[in-house]
Structure formats: C-alpha cells, structure tokens
C-alpha cells in the first residue's frame, strides 16, 4: 500500500520496503536510514520508506527501520504537524522535519506495537497493542494507559475510538473501557464469560 500526503508544494509517499538491506548491494537505496539506537542490535521487523517530491521531482528519501512488533504502512501510519512528519514504525513514534527528514525525536510509544497515531489538541494520541499513550510535541510521554489485556478484538467490538471527551477501548477478552484525555478511567465493563475468546 502506498500512502500519499500533501504538504505545501511537497508530495510525501510512504510505502513498505521489505527488500531494503543495509548493504552495498541493496536493491533499493535511500538518502537516510533512520533507526533507534536500541534497535540496531536486532533485525528489523518493519521497514517504512519515505519519498518526498517537489513538482514531481524527487528531493529526499529515507527509510525507517523498526524492531518491535511488525507494522505496515496504512492510512493511520503518519500525520503532518506544522513542518514535521510524525510517523509510527513498530513500537516507536518518529518526528522528522519537512522537507529534509532530519530526526527531531524518537519515542517508544508502546511496549509491543504502535498501530496508529492521532492528534488531540496540541498533543498526539498513540493507539498501541498494550497501551494508549498521550505524547507531547517534544516526544515526551504524558501518560500511558493499559488494560487487563491487549487492545485487539478478534470479533466483536472496536478496540480504539476517539470521541470529543473520551476514548473508548475494547480489549482481547471483550472488556470495554472509557478513559478521559488525562488517562483516567471513566468506566470499565468486564466481558461476560460467553463473550471471551475460546482458548486455542
């Protein structure tokens, strides 16, 4: 999947590139390779490429390598905030300058996998496998909220929904939560035994 974002006179393309390797004979090459220091000891599980064009002419490119839970490029992968590209890859969020793709900061948003990134007022909300986090514009985690199980639904329910004054969550067992934007629980409803997933 190719995701295209527009910023002033720039076109930004995001795509997965599993063929890239950090070797001279890599089939694809980029101007920058971006990777958290702690991930350099591991093989990447996710490789999100960024290509920037101005008037259809390539200007700069980068690839982000992540070693947490695997993610793929989709419509919730990235957003533009002022002249910064905020993008999730594996378990981390990256803030990159536009148009040069210099790294502002890197933050581990979830212990396992960061599924999507959203804006809330002057902050970001990360929807992760094990936690929901609110992060400020410097990459600092303001709060992180975890439930009784991971925020993934196999059948019924939507694991993550943002509303005006609260966030609605459903975990793997089918239990539901409402939390406010300060990371506090408004309500919690445990799933009945009949709705819980059957063991494998």
49 and 131 in a single domain? The answer is: yes
26 and 79 in a single domain? The answer is: yes
35 and 109 in a single domain? The answer is: yes
| pTM of the complete model | 0.92
19 and 37 in a single domain? The answer is: yes
Tokens of 143: 């709060």
123 and 69 in a single domain? The answer is: yes
- Work out the average pLDDT over 83-107: 98
46 and 76 in a single domain? The answer is: yes
**Percentage of residues in the chain with pLDDT exceeding 90?**
92
**Percentage of residues in the chain with pLDDT exceeding 70?**
96
Res 192: pLDDT: 78
Q: For 141, phi and psi rounded to 5 degrees?
A: -75, 115
39 and 132 in a single domain? The answer is: yes
CATH for 9: 2.40.128.630
Domain hosting 163: range is 149-200
15 and 75 in a single domain? The answer is: yes
Tokens of 137: 């514009």
Instruction: Single out the residue in 146, 162, 183 at which a domain terminates.
Output: 146
Give dist(CA 117, CA 62) in Å, integer.
19
35 and 116 in a single domain? The answer is: yes
Task: Check whether 98 has a pLDDT greater than 70.
Answer: yes
Measured in whole angstroms, how far is the alpha carbon of residue 97 from the centre of its chain? Answer: 17
58 and 136 in a single domain? The answer is: yes
Lowest-pLDDT range of 106-110, 133-137, 142-146, 171-175: 171-175
- How high does pLDDT run on average in the chain? 94
């Amino acid at each position: 999947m190719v995701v295209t974002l527009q910023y002033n006179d720039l076109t930004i393309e995001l795509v997965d590139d599993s063929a890239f390797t950090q070797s001279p004979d890599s089939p694809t090459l980029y101007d920058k390779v971006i990777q958290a220091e702690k991930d350099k000891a591991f093989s990447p599980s996710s490789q999100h490429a960024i290509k920037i064009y101005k008037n259809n002419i390539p200007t700069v490119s980068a690839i982000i390598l992540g070693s947490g839970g695997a993610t793929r490029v989709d419509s919730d992968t990235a957003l533009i905030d002022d002249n910064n590209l905020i993008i999730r890859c594996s378990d981390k969020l990256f803030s990159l300058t536009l148009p040069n793709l210099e790294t502002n900061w890197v933050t581990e948003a979830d212990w396992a996998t960061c599924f999507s990134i959203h804006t809330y007022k002057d902050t970001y909300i990360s929807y992760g496998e094990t936690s929901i986090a609110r992060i400020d514009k410097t990459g600092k985690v303001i709060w992180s909220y975890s439930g009784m199980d991971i925020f993934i639904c196999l059948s019924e329910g939507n694991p993550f929904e943002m509303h005006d004054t609260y966030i609605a969550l459903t975990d793997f067992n089918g239990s539901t939560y409402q939390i406010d934007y300060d990371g506090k629980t408004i309500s919690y409803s445990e799933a009945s035994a009949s709705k819980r997933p059957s063991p494998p």
